[in-house]
Amino acid sequence: MFMSKHFKYLTKILHPYRGVLYFVVLLLLTHFLWKLVVDGDLHGQRIAIFGKDLTPQFHSLSVFTVNMVHWLVRLFPNTDDFYKNGSLMYFQDGIRINIIWGCTAVKQLYIFIVIMLFYKGPWKKKLWYIPAGCVILWVYNIVRIAMICWLTYQHSERFYFLHEGLFRYIFYGLIFLLWVIWEEMFAKVVVPQEPLEGKFPQIT
């Protein structure tokens, strides 16, 4: 009786936050599933999925990412001496940044897709919201890497803060924001209210 009473009280307190709690649980499960399925260090070159080595395929994705980032950085001022070579990008007098599979946003896209697939909401809307969210995340990733390249030119000490800190937190914050938009605008079921006519005595 004592435990049951406290459990009901705790459930009542957490009820307004059930959506956020479900999001956190899904996020943790996606990380756990990733560890089971994927064999590869986010800071390394090699990656295998279900034991199959997919390093060459992901290297091609890394090179494609480099091409997109290089194109974007060259739009910034004073970037004529910004070069690319395979998966490498660098300013002539700057640090060399190697784009590996962990820089291609594959894991973040996977997390977003899994969360959206297992979260509540109409499937017809998921069919367009999930691809749209993936495009937003992919574009952000290109901008993220471009900003890191540009902001670390002649300031290599900024790299760790930007790469491991600021832009990574923004990345996961963006995933959370996309979920919030889904939760508030698409997942909630609006129950139509019955008309008030006939609910109260009428004075004639």
Domain ranges of the chain: 15-187
Q: What is the 3-state secondary structure (H, E, C) of the chain?
A: CHHHHHHHHHHHHHHHHHHHHHHHHHHHHHHHHHHHHEECCCCCCCCEECCEECHHHHHHHHHHHHHHHHHHHCCCCCCCCEEEECCEEEECCCCEEECCHHHCCHHHHHHHHHHHHHCCCCHHHHHHHHHHHHHHHHHHHHHHHHHHHHHCCCCHHHHHHHHHHHHHHHHHHHHHHHHHHHHHHHHCCCCCCCCCCCCCCCCC
Model's pTM, two decimal places? Answer: 0.82
Reading the chain (204 residues) residue by residue, the pLDDT tens digits are 545 665 565 566 655 667 788 888 898 999 899 888 888 777 778 888 888 888 888 889 999 999 999 999 999 888 889 999 988 999 988 889 999 988 999 999 999 999 999 998 999 999 999 999 999 999 999 999 999 999 998 888 999 999 989 999 999 999 999 999 999 898 875 555 555 555 555 554
